[in-house]
Structure 1
Amino acid sequence: MALAFITGGGTGLGAEMARCAQAQGWDVAILDLCRDAARPILDELPDVRFFEGDVAREDTVVSALDGLGAVPDLLVNNAGILKFGSLLETSFDEFARILNVNLTGAVNVSRLVAARMIARGHGSIVNITSTAGIATSPGVNAYAGAKRGLAAMTEMMAQEWGPLGVRVNSVAPGMIQGGMSRSIYADRAVADRRASAVPSRRLGAEADIANAVLWLASEEASYINGHELVVDGGLTKATMSMIPRD
């Protein structure tokens, strides 16, 4: 059975990825900061293995990988944090913390897992980026830079590790009714207003992202490498449709 290793898999998008991966026959392990927060998904999916650790710390990641007893066939770098606020009002420490989790942490885990995948001869890595790094907006501060940086690192990893048997791609979620955005869309009026701006006329679901990730990891996508798959209902391509013609 193929093994999927999902960071930030205890809640939100990561938990949905664990749920969908297991339904498709994957053996699933997750790495997250807090077992208590992950309790609902662990109770729901008792076969999922849990490792407590910080993606930005090499020692906790190595400990988890050693504990797996096997090399992951799929790594999903999903762990992330977001804090809204203007750049001028964001402290340096907070800015650095957001970068550390969303960018440095993903690169840290990727390097450690890729080394094992390369020694084994194959593997797939999917990084979770964001449309906030493609068409950013005021108030997302370090998150936008981290996600754009992770997209660039995805391309570089694909070039370096592709010849060694490891494919690296990314998925950029748009406006998703779940994950870190769940509280935003709890207000139905906000959710409806935002959905009306999406060409598909709906917000995304957590399963939309999970399914995209698992497809990229599948043999059906075996010739896709270094690609950022935007899953946003067409939103980032809709700029001109929002500008009046007369």
Structure 2
Amino acid sequence: MPKKLALITGSSGGIGAAIAAAASRDGYRLALLDVNAAALQATSASLPDATAFTCDITDAAQVAQVLQTLGQVPELLVNNAGIVKFAPLLDITVQDFRRILDIDLTGAFVVSQQVASGLRDAGKPGSIVNIASIGGITPSFGTNAYAAAKAGLIKLTELMALEWGALGIRVNTVSPGFIDGGMSAAVYANASTRAVRTAAVPLKRLGLEQDIADAVLFLASEKANYISGHNLVVDGALTHSLLNQIPRE
């Protein structure tokens, strides 16, 4: 029996690479997508049975070409690709706002639509896991289009689960909290920021890239075969801790 195929976007490093490594350990053949060709090739070379594709996920024609080259519909799709540019709403340019939405939200739709269509035509079940953020639940200053895109992705996941459930396609979201890695690596290089944020998490530690990878592979597994349309928040209970941040006399 051929291996199942996992297609992972934004997989040149960070959380995406951790998800790829976890999927490989679970026996998947890998299709890794990113626009960073050099880093993507390095990640791909470090994993068995992995193929790298330099691809702009906002370009439907490029995505279609990748799927055609693979010759197999992915049983697992992980939409991890995303960007952020911190700036107040009054300062961010319209061009930057649109670009963030295009990659973080529209790109996930473009890839998901094509994979879901392929699964439907092949009569195969599948799993899609979208990587959102706690910023899509409770926004923070300066996250502009990123917060809007991640909130949209959570709601888009619910709609995908509704429309594609009858096809045997489960769709879920993982929303990371304070993760010591990926696009947040530079944030936690600051010792003061690291200490303050670690103290704010009820579990008293920052999350790891592996924590997110484990959540994704759980949702993709048979153990989660009746879970669809769910947003799995992986944040050490941070989003429940608001009142704990405000002292009581």
Alignment TM-score, normalising by the size of structure 1: 0.98
Match of 2:190 in 1: 187
For the 8 Å contact 2:18–2:209, the answer to whether it is kept is yes
Task: Name the CA distance, whole Å, in 2 between partners of 1:63 and 1:119.
Answer: 17
2:194 aligned counterpart, secondary structure: helix
Task: Name the CA distance, whole Å, in 2 between partners of 1:47 and 1:84.
Answer: 37
CA drift of 1:46 comes to 5.0
1:149 aligned counterpart, secondary structure: helix
Which of 152, 160, 166 is the equivalent residue of 1:157? Answer: 160
CA drift of 1:12 comes to 1.1
Q: Map 1:32-181; keep pairs closer than 5 Å.
A: 32-120=34-122, 121-181=124-184
Task: Name the CA distance, whole Å, in 2 between partners of 1:118 and 1:169.
Answer: 18
Structure 2, unpaired ranges of 5+: none
Partner deviation per Cα, 1:180-223 (whole Å, 9 max, x = no partner): 00011112232121110000100000000011001000000000
Alignment TM-score, normalising by the size of structure 2: 0.97
For the 8 Å contact 2:125–2:167, the answer to whether it is kept is yes
Task: Name the CA distance, whole Å, in 2 between partners of 1:219 and 1:190.
Answer: 39
1:196 aligned counterpart, secondary structure: helix
Task: Name the CA distance, whole Å, in 1 between partners of 2:126 and 2:161.
Answer: 11
- Over the aligned positions, Cα root-mean-square deviation in angstroms equals 0.9
Task: Name the CA distance, whole Å, in 1 between partners of 2:120 and 2:239.
Answer: 35
Task: Name the CA distance, whole Å, in 2 between partners of 1:161 and 1:154.
Answer: 10
For the 8 Å contact 2:76–2:126, the answer to whether it is kept is yes
**Which stretch shifts more, 220-229 or 42-51?**
42-51
**Which stretch shifts more, 177-186 or 189-198?**
189-198
Q: Are residues 1:199 and 2:197 paired?
A: no
2:200 aligned counterpart, secondary structure: coil
Task: Name the CA distance, whole Å, in 1 between partners of 2:167 and 2:49.
Answer: 31
Structure 1 residue runs of 4 or more that deviate by more than 6 Å after TM superposition: none
Task: Name the CA distance, whole Å, in 2 between partners of 1:50 and 1:43.
Answer: 9
Task: Name the CA distance, whole Å, in 2 between partners of 1:29 and 1:106.
Answer: 16
Task: Name the CA distance, whole Å, in 1 between partners of 2:146 and 2:79.
Answer: 15
- Aligned pairs, number: 246
* Matched residue type, 2:87: G
Which of 14, 18, 21 is the equivalent residue of 2:20? Answer: 18
Task: Name the CA distance, whole Å, in 2 between partners of 1:39 and 1:122.
Answer: 29
Q: Percent identity?
A: 50
**Which stretch shifts more, 35-44 or 200-209?**
35-44
